[in-house]
Structure 1
Amino acid sequence: MILPVTHLAAFALVALGMALTPGPNMIYLISRSICQGPRAGLVSLGGVALGFVFYMVCAAFGITALVMAVPYAYDALRLGGAAYLLFLAWQAIRPGGRSPFQVRALAADGNRRLFLMGFMTNLLNPKIAVMYLSLLPQFTVPGSSMLAQILMLGAMQIGISVLVNAAIALSAGRMAMFLETRPGFAKAQRWVMATVLGGLAARMLTEHRGA
């Protein structure tokens, strides 16, 4: 196995936390699912997944070249990854934060446009590029191909994100009604997510490559 199970498990937890943290992709998919039905949400999700693949391939080759060419590049990426997780934690609990289940009115679109809009929503989300450049290298190990490791982690992240968002798209209407009648549940979920992300950021700040 290229990566140890402990690294894969830790990264899976990070990927799950990120998938459950509201962002442009989740807001668009939920709004599309509620306005046009779960099938439209799933078609849009296909475009989002393609955007992840694009970033993964670019990051895999870019990170490999950067770490090999620039001294201390790994530490810079580690600090960037921690900062990104802290940003996500703040986004989860900041005052006035917008719930993704506050639906935007969207006109009905065909499958081609749904797929393209999902792709562009993800492609134009700068947080995704930061995530791939700063987070993935933190879970690699010396002595194995950096390219292979990044591709493995990227594939895991895409799989987790697609599964989580597919479940959300299929149940968006019921979830929106549930959270509307139970605002305390939504608030507790945001604080739990912020705590998990903050803890992962602290872990990244205190660990060093090869430690």
Structure 2
Amino acid sequence: MKALGIINYETFLIAGIILNITPGADTLYIMSRSISQGTKAGIFSVLGIISGAIGHIILASLGLSIILAQSALAFQTVKYLGAVYLIFMGVKSIISSSKSGLSLNSKPPQRHRKIYISGVFTNLLNPKVALFFLAFLPQFIGHEHSESPLPFLILGLTFLTTGTIWCVIVAVFAGRLSEKFRQNPKIKTWLDRVSGTIFIALGIKLALTKN
């Protein structure tokens, strides 16, 4: 790995796994989707979040994420867009839960596509993710390769690989755990409301984040 400009790769791998399994906003988001809408919904949310993270890694490797770190206006703009989006999804989930049969009658492919896109935007519109990669990845890149995008991409994709495995496990576990509960319309309605409340809470938390 040193030939590619990467140092202490084993340490990076261990640190990355620890960070992946540490509960955070992404974990809560995936669990909420899985509990209220099932395992497939959780997995599609994982794919969306990972796709958004890939976008952040590419931007970081090209040095574009530095704009968020150095520009208060850019950081605030992305942050509030992400917060509004999360709160909108939360309110929509709560309102939809009161409409009997709405979720059950929607076409799975369309629903899953929407969940995937929501995951992408949820991650892309979170400036904290961009700042995380900017702060974490360079610690394992040799100084002489600091301006090369290749080490960023390799480390970023490694981090996402272990993260994807963990997130899929979370989605499957949460989805199966709530499967019987979701078969009861009344309980499913409450699960949707709880899920919506969590989205709103995540949006408010993001809005209060300081640069």
Scaled by the length of structure 1, the TM-score of the pair is: 0.58
Using a 3 Å threshold, how does the CA distance of structure 1 residues 149 and 160 change in structure 2: closer, same or farther? same
2:73 aligns with none
* 3-state DSSP of counterpart to 2:160: helix
Amino acid at match of 1:114: I
Query: Once the 2 structures are TM-superposed, how far is the Cα of residue 19 of structure 1 from its aligned partner?
Result: 1.3
1:150 aligns with 152
How big is the alpha-carbon RMSD for the aligned residues of Structure 1 and Structure 2? 3.0
2:141 counterpart of 1:137: no
Query: Once the 2 structures are TM-superposed, how far is the Cα of residue 113 of structure 1 from its aligned partner?
Result: 1.0
* 3-state DSSP of counterpart to 1:135: helix
Query: Once the 2 structures are TM-superposed, how far is the Cα of residue 51 of structure 1 from its aligned partner?
Result: 0.5
Query: Once the 2 structures are TM-superposed, how far is the Cα of residue 148 of structure 1 from its aligned partner?
Result: 1.0
* 3-state DSSP of counterpart to 1:22: coil
Aligned runs of 1:164-179 on 2, under 5 Å? 164-172=166-174
Deviations 1:74-127 (CA, angstroms, capped at 9, x unpaired): xxxxxxxxxxxxxxxxxxxxxxxxxxxxxx978547011100111122122232
Distance in 1, Cα, partners of 2:165 & 2:15: 15
2:151 counterpart of 1:115: no
User: Unpaired segments of 5 or more residues in structure 2?
Assistant: 68-92, 98-102, 179-211
Distance in 1, Cα, partners of 2:65 & 2:21: 28
Distance in 1, Cα, partners of 2:166 & 2:34: 14
Distance in 1, Cα, partners of 2:153 & 2:18: 20
* 3-state DSSP of counterpart to 1:44: helix
* 1:26–1:165 contact (8 Å) kept in structure 2: yes
User: Unpaired segments of 5 or more residues in structure 1?
Assistant: 67-103, 177-211
Using a 3 Å threshold, how does the CA distance of structure 1 residues 140 and 130 change in structure 2: closer, same or farther? same
Distance in 2, Cα, partners of 1:172 & 1:65: 36
Give the helix-richer structure, 1 or 2. 2
Using a 3 Å threshold, how does the CA distance of structure 1 residues 22 and 171 change in structure 2: closer, same or farther? same
* 1:64–1:146 contact (8 Å) kept in structure 2: no
* 2:38–2:176 contact (8 Å) kept in structure 1: no
Per mean C-alpha deviation after superposition, the further-off stretch among 153-162 and 20-29 is 20-29
2:18 aligns with 17
1:162 aligns with 164
Query: Once the 2 structures are TM-superposed, how far is the Cα of residue 34 of structure 1 from its aligned partner?
Result: 1.1
Deviations 1:49-82 (CA, angstroms, capped at 9, x unpaired): 110110000000107999xxxxxxxxxxxxxxxx
Amino acid at match of 1:129: A
Aligned runs of 1:63-142 on 2, under 5 Å? 108=103, 110-142=111-143
Distance in 1, Cα, partners of 2:174 & 2:139: 33
* 2:4–2:150 contact (8 Å) kept in structure 1: no
Amino acid at match of 2:163: S
Distance in 2, Cα, partners of 1:112 & 1:174: 21
* 2:60–2:66 contact (8 Å) kept in structure 1: no
Query: Once the 2 structures are TM-superposed, how far is the Cα of residue 8 of structure 1 from its aligned partner?
Result: 1.4
Query: Once the 2 structures are TM-superposed, how far is the Cα of residue 137 of structure 1 from its aligned partner?
Result: 0.4
* 3-state DSSP of counterpart to 2:63: helix
State percent identity of aligned pairs: 30
Amino acid at match of 2:56: Y
* 3-state DSSP of counterpart to 1:62: coil
1:32 aligns with 33
